[in-house]
Structure 1
Amino acid sequence: MKVLITLPAGEATGEIEDTAPGRDLISLLPLTLDMYDLFAREKPGPLPRELGGVTETMLTYTVGQIAYWQPSYDIVFCFADDENNNEIPEPGIVHLGTITSGLKHIASAGDSFKLTIERA
């Protein structure tokens, strides 16, 4: 599923994969979330509830990845590599999809901002 991500300084687009957690995220749309910067590499923000159907997690991320951090129900937009080989602590992240355009708008959004995600 294609999504439109609206930020204070512009728009980004993404593709959510057809997995159980991906479909569950799509069922919540549209969403407006309070986001923040974490480690100058990712922008997380809490979803209104836990996503269902999680069966696999990853202990690394890739730039441009849309992910889910299950302990705090955060959706995460990864925008930069780090010096730790992009490692994520246990329990890891759930891959949801990929940013297809506008990653620079996510990266430059600041330390605290609102973001809207909707079906494209």
Structure 2
Amino acid sequence: MRVSLVLLVAGVLTACSSAEGPASPSSAPAPSTRAPSGAPSEARSESEDTGTRIRIGFEGGQVEATVLDTPAGRDLVAQLPLELDMSDHGGVEKTGPLPRELSTDGEPTGADPDVGALGYYAPYGDLVLYYGDQSYFDGIVVLGRMEEGFDALGRIDGNVSVRIEALEQP
């Protein structure tokens, strides 16, 4: 019993007297400046700064956009012209099913699209027009950017039919 008590006291004193701090990594890790694997990066490649110009027409207006020169963007352009019935989701986006899935090769596993982004929700195969702020969500692929006038989509209650066509030949 006496030996056990001596060992216990010695262990406590050793743990309390360590001047170097804990030996195990119990403190919080330093913040990382790298995006997690598969997360979107802030840097855009040169191919993402160019693309195909399109027009999105809907009752009460139209908006022009640029589809990025990426595998998913090229797949979208190959399906044009399109007529889609789109539903409103959360007061921030209109979504509608595409006739065929788009390639997601080389794309991050998700994205935080900017207001005005043209996107693809891969799990459902939907084209998405972001007229409001959507936070990061797995499955989102940013396809491009709409220009001024996209806010008119937010003033349309509920569903909307859109026609999408290329303004130039890819």
TM-score normalized by structure 1? 0.89
User: Residue by residue, what CA displacement relative to the aligned partner does 1:66-98 show, whole Å, maximum 9, x if unpaired?
Assistant: 01001111010111126xxx232x3x3111000
Instruction: Give the whole-Å Cα distance in 2 for the aligned partners of 1:113 and 1:79.
Output: 13
- For residue 114 of structure 2, give the secondary structure of its aligned residue in structure 1: coil
- 1:63 corresponding residue in structure 2: 115
Which runs of no fewer than 5 residues in structure 1 stay unpaired?
none
Q: Is contact 2:75-2:102 (8 Å) kept? A: yes
Which runs of no fewer than 5 residues in structure 2 stay unpaired?
1-51
Amino acid at match of 1:55: G
- 1:116 corresponding residue in structure 2: 163
Paired residues, number: 115
- For residue 107 of structure 1, give the secondary structure of its aligned residue in structure 2: helix
- For residue 72 of structure 1, give the secondary structure of its aligned residue in structure 2: coil
Aligned partner (choices 60, 67, 83) of residue 32 of structure 1: 83
Q: As a proportion of its length, which structure holds more helix?
A: 2
- 2:125 corresponding residue in structure 1: 73
Aligned partner (choices 86, 93, 105) of residue 140 of structure 2: 93
Aligned partner (choices 99, 105, 109) of residue 48 of structure 1: 99
User: Could you say what the CA RMSD is over the residues aligned between the two structures, in angstroms?
Assistant: 1.3
The Cα shift of 1:62 comes to: 1.0
The Cα shift of 1:53 comes to: 4.3
- For residue 71 of structure 1, give the secondary structure of its aligned residue in structure 2: coil
Aligned partner (choices 67, 71, 96) of residue 16 of structure 1: 67
Amino acid at match of 1:93: I
Q: Is contact 1:20-1:54 (8 Å) kept? A: yes
Amino acid at match of 1:12: V
- 2:27 corresponding residue in structure 1: none
Runs of 4+ aligned residues of structure 1 deviating over 3 Å after TM superposition are none
Instruction: Give the whole-Å Cα distance in 2 for the aligned partners of 1:66 and 1:56.
Output: 15
Q: As a proportion of its length, which structure holds more strand?
A: 1
Amino acid at match of 1:10: G
Larger Rg: 2
TM-score normalized by structure 2? 0.64
